[in-house]
Structure 1
Amino acid sequence: MHTAAHPDPDHPDQEHHPDEDHVVRLADIGELAAAIPSLLGFHPEGSLIAVTMRGDGLIGPTARIDLAPPSLYSGLVASLVRSLRQTDARIAVLFVVCEQADPRHEDLIRRAFAALTRISVSVWHAIGMPSAEAGVRWRCYLHDDCEGEVPDSSASEFAAAVVQSGLVTFDRREDLVRQLEPPDLNRTIKLADLLDTAIRSDRTTSAEHLAVLRDAIAAATLPTTDEEFVRFGLALSDYRVRDVCLRYALDSKEVPAAERLWLELTRSLPPPERAEAAVLLGVSAYMRGDGAMANIALEEAWSVQPGHSLAGLLYGAISYGVPMEQLRLVLTDAAVDAQIDIDGDRDSPEASDMSP
């Protein structure tokens, strides 16, 4: 879904893309404010948000950062700039969402305005509001007599497009985090024992492990039995197989089925296999524009396996604003190199029944 926003400059969380061919027009700042929970995937609290727009008027990535005390404003603004540098945004609308109005937020807006101007991003509006709920009042820091009320978005075309796509908007970020919690902790503990036993006797080749995941994604099926979860866990424990699976984040047709699988495995597998599924979930979410889920998934990978090299690399790339196309090239190279290594195993003398 493309979203076009055309707030009149004279009248004063990464975006979801359910349908790339569907254009939804947001007529004014109020409608844009009402769309923020759908753009982020949850209702923000205590947040600095930048909704970006490209030169063609289509909404680009939406960045959200937790508000911080004034002593940390410089770092907060720097993080926002790093996030937006990787986009082709030309315009941004800033939102400070905070239950209690704070006059110090004007200083935050001034700093953000100046920093974004330096990277050629024009800030059309900077809105302060207590929440993105229908009926709350908003006002613009930049323009006199620019204020209004957040409309009810439930009946909007944008909300309908989000619902039709199957995406869910959560009340809080914590609700999004809970998506990754094990649905059955006892089963996860059981799977840990089963995986420990299976790893000791596993003789499956990397190509066979990869085929298990490839077939499941092609058929859009999820594991249901302990044996299936063990097979998927074994496959992800092979780092070359995991790296080949990075390619699914780059294929818009395969992303939905692959991401559903990574989410289910993140929820159900024990560490350390859980970390591998979470990394794949994180990179998939990020590449389709869901920064909130990407950060949560990568945080989960790091928490269950501190020092995870790929999770750290990806989290750093997101934090420091590595351009999306550059990240796409890195992921492509990693997937291709891993596939070459796996193919090489099949061509090696050890893999052949023929005598040298």
Structure 2
Amino acid sequence: MDTAARPNPAQPNPAQPESDRPDSDRIVTLTDAGALIAAIPSLMGFHPKDSFVVVTVKNGLVGLTARMDLVPPPLYGSLVGRVTRPVRQNDADAAVCLLVCDKADPRHEDLMRRAVAALEGMKVPVLHALWTPSVSGGVPWRCYLHENCEGEVPDSAASELAAEMALAGNVTFDSRDDLIRLLEPPDPVRMIRLSGLLDTASRGDRTTSVQHLATIRAAIASGTMPSTDEEFVRLAMALSDYRVRDVCLSYALDRQVAPAAEKVWLELTRCLPPPERSEAAVLLAACAYLRGDGAMANVALEEARSALPGHNLAGLLYGAIAYGIPAEQVRQVLADAAEDAHIDIEGDDTEEAPDMST
């Protein structure tokens, strides 16, 4: 399941110059159901297809958006349960259900009835239950709940919301598959070579956690991507120290450095072999989730769990997304983990320091 929680669609990218940043208090008004459908790519980060989407509304603003792939009718109950679970966690005032598929199937009416009943059973009124063949402009939409409630989806790319998202530095992909391809290794041959180099390095590594942490900090502060095999190996070895990885969670919490850190995690996720790439992917997921990009977070976590099955931190974040745990609660958990790891590493440094007393 993909979720997005972008409470302010004009949230600025801290990497942008102050003069180029959008107004963080700006509110984009969605005038009708068609405008909401056109906003889905900007909210989700990609154009969903064959999907069931629930958009929540809280205090008059669009809140959490949850999406799942369509399933056969016997699995409708499971789909509804999973897609409505995050709504309960986020205490929504109302919701809009959206079915995106090429052709309206009569069986989909049963899916909508189940979803509406589940949400209203949670005291979340459903404002619209919509169908559209796609979220692109120029296609029809209609509502299952209200007679004569239909129209044409406006051009999402030309919308005010899309413009604000682009100004904020958010990228909208044509499909979820395009998002997945973003994490594919650019050079499989090099990845195999790095695997051998990492096996060799790990056997003789005597680098302390303090030194590993210094390597990570220098890489992020430099503003450049790793390019040599040596750089990739040093960074991979550093993140393989779980305490260093946990300290690196703090980068996701800092608006000033999160964009630079996320670029490094993305590059490492793409280029490192398994299992080392799992640690970079988890950090990429943390950054994405806390800036409201649940789709990227999910894709990164899928990569982490594939590279290292049973990865504890990946499982924790995956569960938080699946259950719709509010981002602020996740933020606090990550902050505590980063602080505990930092204190632990500092303790090692103190113990290893030479006695200078006389």
Using structure 1 for the length normalisation, give the TM-score.
0.91
Mind listing any 5+ residue stretches in structure 2 that lack a counterpart? Answer: 13-23
1:192 and 2:178 are equivalent in the alignment: no
Q: Counterpart amino acid of 2:325? A: V
Q: Counterpart amino acid of 2:112? A: I
Mapping for residues 1-356 of structure 1, pairs under 5 Å: 13-16=3-6, 17=9, 18-19=11-12, 20-55=24-59, 57-348=60-351, 350-352=352-354
Whether the 8 Å CA contact 2:56–2:95 is kept in 1: the answer is yes
SS across alignment from 1:93? strand
Whether the 8 Å CA contact 1:50–1:63 is kept in 2: the answer is yes
Q: Counterpart amino acid of 2:161? A: F
Deviations 1:140-196, CA, capped at 9 Å, x for gaps: 011111000001122222121222233222221111100000111111112112222
SS across alignment from 2:28? strand
SS across alignment from 1:284? helix
Say if 1:251 and 1:75 are closer, same or farther in 2 by CA, change over 3 A: same
SS across alignment from 1:186? helix
Which stretch shifts more, 285-294 or 265-274? 285-294
Q: Counterparts of 1:204 and 1:181 in 2: how far apart (Å)?
A: 30
Which structure 1 residue ranges, 4+ long, deviate > 6 Å from structure 2?
none
Deviations 1:231-282, CA, capped at 9 Å, x for gaps: 1111110000111111222222322111111111100111111000111111
Mind listing any 5+ residue stretches in structure 1 that lack a counterpart? Answer: 1-12
SS across alignment from 1:23? coil
Q: Counterparts of 1:353 and 1:185 in 2: how far apart (Å)?
A: 48
Q: Counterpart amino acid of 2:38? A: A
Partner of 1:10: none
Q: Counterpart amino acid of 1:352? A: P
Structure ranking higher on relative contact order (CA contacts 8 Å, 6+ apart): 2
Which stretch shifts more, 130-139 or 89-98? 89-98
Deviations 1:84-141, CA, capped at 9 Å, x for gaps: 2232421211110011211121221121112212333221111101111111100001
SS across alignment from 1:25? coil
Q: Counterparts of 1:224 and 1:93 in 2: how far apart (Å)?
A: 46
Deviations 1:10-42, CA, capped at 9 Å, x for gaps: xxx414554333322222211111111121111
Partner of 1:3: none
Whether the 8 Å CA contact 1:282–1:298 is kept in 2: the answer is yes
Whether the 8 Å CA contact 1:212–1:235 is kept in 2: the answer is yes
Whether the 8 Å CA contact 1:87–1:324 is kept in 2: the answer is no
Q: Counterparts of 1:353 and 1:272 in 2: how far apart (Å)?
A: 39
Say if 1:167 and 1:29 are closer, same or farther in 2 by CA, change over 3 A: same
SS across alignment from 1:188? helix
Whether the 8 Å CA contact 2:50–2:69 is kept in 1: the answer is yes
Q: CA deviation at 1:76?
A: 0.8
Whether the 8 Å CA contact 2:54–2:84 is kept in 1: the answer is no
Aligned CA RMSD, in angstroms, stands at 1.9
SS across alignment from 2:56? strand
Whether the 8 Å CA contact 1:46–1:66 is kept in 2: the answer is yes
Q: CA deviation at 1:62?
A: 1.2
Q: Counterparts of 2:354 and 2:85 in 1: how far apart (Å)?
A: 50
